[in-house]
Structure 1
Amino acid sequence: MIQVSDSIADRFLSFIKPEQNIVVAYGYQHHGRCLEKVLCMMGLQFEIVDDYHTDCKRLEDLDSKKEYTVVLCASDEKVRARMCEKAIKLGFSNIIDNKSLLVFLEETNRYNGYESAVRTNISKNACPICESDAYEIYVNIRKLRVKKCTDCEHEFIDEVSKEVVTGFYDDIRYFEKNYNISIDDFFNESFMEFCKTRMSMVSPFLTNDIKDKKGGAFLEIGCLDGRFLWYLKEQGFDVVGCEINKSVAQVGIENLGVDIRCMAIEECNFEDESFDIIFSSHVLEHLVDPLSIVKISREKLKHGGKFIANLPCNETDYENPHHLHFFSNKSILKAMESVFDEISIHHEKFPYLVNGEIFYTITVCGKKN
């Protein structure tokens, strides 16, 4: 087990008084989990209040509120402000809302994550992209091991079951939190902005023959509530989507009238050579075996059809509980080149924020001749 050095312990105790009862309150970010890890290593007792799932309702049940230290660990300032306001209303007087603590937790956890890795731990033919050897580079707070390919530099979480992954996406709040929109915000400004952003990922790869047909057969993998499919349908595309989050998919089926299959693409039984375009955004990095989905997509494309994928590139947030793969430029191209006849890249980068750090996605396209 990783030990906390004296310098780290001293710095940590400058934020928190150990003689008080400690309550960790955090949003859907990993800083709270980082704090849990440090507290455990220091042998301190604490309770958890998960704002993402419970809206901090657990705070209401705690007695003798003045004896508690409430530590706010959400990286989102709006979330922290909401939690702080609630804690004050409930009578807590010792509330720690310190951005320096968040930075400290991030640095401590990442240091321990890299130090925990056994780099001599080599797994033969383990890379899910090119089947080269891979070595351990990081151990995250869930004790999952991140490995890196010696050839294509692909990084991935080792040994995660499909059942665990499916359980990540079983409610609506995951969708609302990660996309910062409400599930019932149909046809408003954020709805249309979402659709236009996705269209900007797809449109550079649309050829004249598809445009002349005023659309074409379009499949979206991981279509959420189908809002982008609705947008494409309005422009003449023949659309269908697949989405494993049944709660989110059902909302789209009922409100947008789009065809969504509440299952993974390999379970949908689509006929081979059915689609002109297959599209995914922020999907491949979530899958246990992304290359298999790329291969299935090729089978479902017509000759001349295209698979378009928008995904993070060179991301290093190994604490992200939902990302199983961290693609490099090299591994993205290697995956696509192993399946498709022609590869092209749209170089416009789409930023996204994770725990206060900006990462970027790229959009790649593989064509089946």
Structure 2
Amino acid sequence: MNNEPVRCALCGGVDFREVVPGGRGARVLRCGGCGLVRTIFPTGKAPSAGHYDKDYYAPWLGEQSAAREKIWNRRLKSIERFVPAGRIFDVGCGDGMFLEVAAKAGWETEGSDISEWAAQYARENRRLRVRAGELQNMDLPSDYYDAVTMWHVLEHVASPLVLLEKVRGMLKTGGLAVAAVPNASAIIYRAVYRIFKFRSSLSVVDREPHIHHFDPSTLRMIFDKAGFRVTEIIPDAGYAGALRKTLDAFPVALAAVSGINISTAIEIRAIKK
């Protein structure tokens, strides 16, 4: 049995307080040092890549396809405010639609996903360069990419700081890193989870439970520690469903006027120092 204490993935601390019961023997803990919240699974591991199969992606490729394409176009335009079309790498690219949108806009694209099914779909159906596996284990060029994106990836990663350090090495100096994650501090985020999934946003009773739960403060801290200069943290309006888009409209407007971020998800943009 491994008797090593659980350490925070951000500050390395070992002082934790239980936030809520996670269900199925899991624990949801908040670090007393930096405030990062994480889930400890009874098996020691989160669900594997096998969860992300053809059935998982069926809604993406079916009824959500048109809405997702609009989301990807909007996200790409926001990136191009900071970086002109160049080399872009999408971590956790799924079926590859974002990379396809970027390629049509003149970007040189690459991506990765832990799902072999998704990577194969992106290669065969979208003719993209996509690798299957963990980014940390891939041999990729250094100081090469103009932008690296991570759309709702960091919350699923056991060692997010290690991933961000890898991303920093891939980027050119001045290159842009972009990530979106659920906003763990948002009341609306918790309400949306209860509306749609009938359980707490911190529950592990889900087909893709989150390992880490970021708020704007801890998200900024982990990017700072990885060697980035954070330029902004804004609401991420990335939902495909009509009701979810409506729920996100108010937080986006509030943030624009007041700077207060109560959105269900947040997006960070940061420059490699």
Q: Give TM-score, length-normalised by structure 1.
A: 0.57
Contact 2:216 2:233 in 1 (8 A): no
Report if the CA contact (8 A) 1:201-1:363 is conserved. no
Change (3 A) 1:202 1:235: closer
* Structure 1 contact 124–134 (Cα < 8 Å) conserved: no
Distance 2:238 2:126 in 1: 28
Match of 1:129 among 10, 13, 18: 10
Q: Which residue of 1 aligns with 2:266?
A: 362
1:237 aligned onto 2:119: no
Higher relative contact order (CA 8 A, sep 6+): 2
Q: 1:275 aligns with which of 129, 135, 145?
A: 145
**Matched position secondary structure for 1:266:** helix
Show structure 1 runs of 4+ deviating over 4 A: 159-164, 351-354, 356-359
Conserved? CA contact 2:234–2:266, under 8 Å: yes
State the match for 1:310 in structure 2: 180
Q: Which digits, 9 at most, give the CA deviation of each residue in 1:48-99, with x for residues without a partner?
A: xxxxxxxxxxxxxxxxxxxxxxxxxxxxxxxxxxxxxxxxxxxxxxxxxxxx
Could you tell me which of 153, 164, 167 is aligned with 2:35?
A: 153
Deviation for aligned residue 1:348: 3.4
Task: Please report how far the alpha carbon of residue 352 of structure 1 lies from its aligned counterpart in structure 2 after TM superposition.
Answer: 4.8
**Deviation digits for residues 124-166 of structure 1 (CA, Å, limit 9, x no counterpart):** 7722112232222222222111100123321101257786432
Q: Which runs of 5+ in 2 are unaligned?
A: 191-200, 248-262
Per the alignment, in what secondary structure is the counterpart of residue 128 of structure 2?
A: coil
**Map 1:50-199 → 2, pairs under 5 A:** 126-132=7-13, 133-158=15-40, 164-176=46-58, 180-182=59-61, 185=62, 190-199=64-73
Q: Output one character per residue of 1:316-343: Cα deviation in whole Å (capped at 9) or x when no partner.
A: 5121432111112211111111123420
Aligned 1:326-337 pairs, distance under 5 A: 326-337=213-224
Aligned length: 234
- SS of the residue corresponding to residue 218 of structure 1 reads strand
SS in 1 for 2:167: helix
User: Cα RMSD (Å) of the superposition?
Assistant: 2.8
> How high is the sequence identity, in percent, across the aligned residues?
21
Cα deviation, residue 228, structure 1: 1.1
Asked if 2 retains the 8 angstrom alpha-carbon contact of 1:137 and 1:148, the reply is yes
Cα deviation, residue 203, structure 1: 3.1
Cα offset, 1:206, TM superposition: 2.9
Contact 2:28 2:40 survives alignment (8 Å): yes
Larger radius of gyration: 1
Sort the Cα spacing of 1:360 and 1:168 in 2 relative to 1 into closer, same or farther, 3 A.
farther
- The normalised TM-score by structure 2 is 0.76
Amino acid at match of 1:146: V
Counterpart amino acid of residue 328 in structure 1:
D
Any gaps of 5 or more consecutive residues in structure 1?
Answer: 1-122
Q: Does 1:348 align with 2:252?
A: no
SS in 2 for 1:239: strand
- CA distance 1:334–1:225, change in 2 (3 Å): same
